[in-house]
Structure 1
């Protein structure tokens, strides 16, 4: 009996620091966001007025918020689909084809992930520069009959979100590729040998062996990636476009920041934060449910 009590105390002592830190830095701030979303407050004044759900009612009539929400969904869908598809493809090629210099390619692909998002924003701002200094415009002008075209990649409302999405994809591919390479490398080689003897081609092997056996890893990274995309899109928009042109590149977290700190509508900004939190939580739950399947062991 005493040994059982001692074990409980030991477990509690081990978990207590983590639980305290999690409560202070995660649970309390989250609850506080929902509480502040019910206030009309500038953020820096002593005047606070309780308005209940009024901030939320205004929110769903705010076209700027709706546009930011649409941009966020666009980024999540485009970046997630292309990043994971390319990461899995590159990982499969490097693992299955036995290309020389695998470690070299791992490092090269992984480098963008270790760069600060501010640095990445600066790099792509220079690449998208519409002047003669812009790398992408200089390249495109080689295929244009009249020479210089000066496309406004960050100044055109119809393509600005595609430009931001491409930067996010470039930044993330290497990280997930390395993770998938680790999973694929652990698959026993005799599975593929048996499949080849049965006449299965490499494409069929990929969908029948590789993909099912790394599915658990894909599920985990998919949920993580969706949430990180919501966060990183804010940072990249802040660095590259500051929401322009004419609000065309606003995403949810950027609009939150803009309302809370630039427009002194802190309560309204926290209402946006509450919606973003609920959206992220719901989206993660939906992804986990949709991608749920029996785990395969090998």
Structure 2
């Protein structure tokens, strides 16, 4: 009996610090965001005025907020699809094909994940420069560039950010999937070869189903992190411009906070939180499958 009590106390002591810190730095701030979204507060005044759902009613009518949400959703969907497609294909090639220097390619693909968002944004901003950027310089070899392409102009700014975000993320997930694919028994592929299955068929019928649990977990994590990464890339590369064309929900919330609209910015935060939570639930439901054992 005493041993059980001592064990219980030990477990409580181990878990308590992390639980307390999580409550103080995650739960309480989140609850405070919900509370502040129901108030109005001046930029230089601690006085708060209760306004109920007024901030949320304003959100529905705010065309700039709606546009920023559309940009965020577009970035999340496109970046996720492209990143996971490239990561899975590259991982399959480097795992199954006999390519010299596999470790070299792993390192090369992983390097962008080591770099900070600010560094990557600086690299791509230099590449996208209209006058002497690398991209326009290469295109200039084949066509007249009197009117240079504005890669960070209103029409192309979102695709330009997507390219930078994909470049940053592919290597990390490729390495993760390579680890998962390496654990798939070679005998399954040998049996498939004897049955005449092509590499493409093996990829979709053997590889993907057997690493699906890992794909599902990383998919949820990646989509939520992309919401945050979109804010970082937009802030570092364009600051939401030009003319708010690249504004995403988090950067719009940040700008409203800087304008002194604390209650309204917290309402935007609540909307993003609810969207992220609902999106995670939908993804988990849509990707739910019986785990396969091998």
Q: What is the TM-score normalised by the length of structure 1?
A: 0.97
Residue 156 (structure 2) aligned to one of 147, 155, 159: 159
Counterparts of 2:257 and 2:191 in 1: how far apart (Å)?
Answer: 60
Q: Report SS of the residue matched to 2:49.
A: strand
Q: 1:113–1:174: 8 Å Cα contact kept in structure 2?
A: yes
Match of 2:276? 280
Matched positions, count: 294
Shift of 1:209: 0.6
Residue of structure 2 equivalent to 1:141: 140
- 1-structure distance, mates of 2:197, 2:6: 57
1:1-298 equivalences in 2 (<5 Å): 1-131=1-131, 133-144=132-143, 146-155=144-153, 157-261=154-258, 263-298=259-294
Gaps of 5+ in 2: none
Deviations 1:54-78 (A, max 9, x none): 0000011000000000000000010
Deviation at 1:140, TM superposition (A): 1.4
1:158 Cα deviation (Å)? 1.9
Q: How far apart, in 2, do the equivalents of 1:275 and 1:17 lie?
A: 30
1:101-125 deviations in Å (ceiling 9; x for gaps): 1110010000000100001111110
1:43 Cα offset (Å): 4.4
TM-score, normalising length: structure 2: 0.98
Inter-partner Cα distance in structure 2 for 1:27 and 1:176: 29
State the distance in 1 between where 2:111 and 2:89 align: 18
CA displacement, residues 152-179 of structure 1 (integer Å, 9 cap, x when unaligned)? 1112x22211111111000000000000
1:297: Cα distance to partner?
Answer: 1.2
Shift of 1:143: 2.3
In 2, distance between residues paired with 1:7 and 1:61?
56
Unaligned residue ranges in structure 1 (runs of 5+): none
Cα distance, 1:47 vs. partner?
2.0
The structure 1 segments of at least 4 consecutive aligned residues displaced by more than 4 Å after TM superposition are none
Q: In 2, Cα distance between the equivalents of 1:69 and 1:122?
A: 25
